[in-house]
Amino acid sequence: MKYGATVAVAASIFAASCSSGDMIEQRDIEVDNGVRIHVSTCGKGSPIVLLHGHSLDSRMWAEQIEDFKKSHYVVNIDLRGYGLSSPQSEDVPFTHEADVRKVLDVLGVEKAHFVGLSMGAFIVGDIMAVHPELCLSCTLVSGGIRNTPGPNTPPDSAEIARRTNEIARVEAIGVDSMKRQWLNALLSSAGSHRDRIVEPLREMVTDWSAWQATHHEVHCYLGKDAMRALQDRNRTDLSVLFIRGSNEVKDVARRPREMDYLSDGRYVILDDCGHMLNMERPAEFNELVLGFIGEVEKSWLNHH
């Protein structure tokens, strides 16, 4: 299934997730010259913005929606090039964090709790570093600020050559074979709850256009520019939670590098799970994230 064909599927998934009261609202928000970002919203309260991983889409948060929307306004975004949003283009510069900021501006969201996994964590890291004024808190899951050049650094010849070789490899083995390999990689770190995530992941990876695997992407993450911005601030007062699955952690004593520049950085390793820990251990994940957000909001109220 491609973009249009998945609309009804996505609508039914999120409508079911918000079944105990307010129904899901879905809309497409134009962010740049006809580029539209698909957004699902439900619930009431302080906003939580959910940002999905590469090759996936907003459906990966299906088991977070019901818990999160009981006390929060949930904004679930299909990033550009994924899910029901507009595709990317090789010659159109953009950043995902700018798309997210435009979406929130249209929705009238001035500040939010940001939660992102993997690619989504790259984007949360960008926003945290460059636009902390937008953040009530940040939760970075299975990732952090990406260690790659930002949009102000054009790709050099080595990067172009490397990317050309990667594209040639995908073309040689075929997109379907590449997707099978990618799915296996997503599942490789899973724990004892692996079986419950196989089919949801397979469905999303199958629906993925795979555009990013067969094209030269522009630099769509702030990456090293974001890290420099975070370092320049020396100590950022934001409350930031990093979560990793135990099966992906090679050195338990090694903290995320961003924590050196955060006054309130927290790091939690969730047992018996890997990269897709929100899907493997949803009850534990939801309790952890909502508990963190609750602490942040209580602290804010006590100081204001």
DSSP symbols for 35-93: EEEEEEEE--SEEEEEE--TT--GGGGHHHHHHHTTTEEEEEE--TTSTTSPPP-TT--
- pLDDT interval class at 168 (50, 70, 90): very high
Q: Would you state the pLDDT for residue 304? A: 61
What's the pTM?
0.92
* CATH number assigned to the domain covering 4-302: 3.40.50.1820
- Compute the distance between CA of residue 110 and CA of residue 41 in angstroms, rounded to an integer: 15
Mean pLDDT over residues 186-197, rounded?
98
**% of the chain at pLDDT higher than 70:** 92
Q: Would you state the pLDDT for residue 192? A: 98
pLDDT at 236 over 90: no
- Compute the distance between CA of residue 242 and CA of residue 142 in angstroms, rounded to an integer: 8
Mean pLDDT over residues 71-95, rounded?
97
Task: State the pairing for strand pair 46-51/72-77.
Answer: parallel
Side by side, the strands of the sheet bearing 262-270 are 25-32, 35-42, 72-77, 46-51, 112-117, 135-141, 236-245, 262-270
Picking from 51, 224, 69, the residue whose alpha carbon sits closest to that of residue 139 is 51
CA dihedral 35, 44, 18, 24 (to 10 degrees): -30
**pLDDT tens figures, 114-131:** 999 999 999 999 999 999
- Compute the distance between CA of residue 40 and CA of residue 113 in angstroms, rounded to an integer: 16
Supply the mean pLDDT for the chain.
Answer: 92
CA dihedral 125, 129, 135, 140 (to 10 degrees): 20
Q: Would you state the pLDDT for residue 5? A: 34
Q: Would you state the pLDDT for residue 10? A: 34
- pLDDT interval class at 233 (50, 70, 90): confident
According to DSSP, the residues that pair with 132 across neighbouring strands are none
- Compute the distance between CA of residue 140 and CA of residue 267 in angstroms, rounded to an integer: 10
Q: Which amino acid is at 52?
A: H
User: For 214-218, 221-225, 237-241, 299-303, which range has the lowest pLDDT when averaged over its residues?
Assistant: 299-303
More confident residue, 161 or 233: 161
- pLDDT interval class at 22 (50, 70, 90): low
The domain limits of the chain are: 4-302
According to DSSP, the residues that pair with 239 across neighbouring strands are 264
pLDDT at 234 over 90: no
Kindly report the CA angle at 101 between 243 and 26, in degrees rounded to 5?
85
- Compute the distance between CA of residue 258 and CA of residue 227 in angstroms, rounded to an integer: 8
- pLDDT interval class at 15 (50, 70, 90): very low
Q: Would you state the pLDDT for residue 17? A: 41
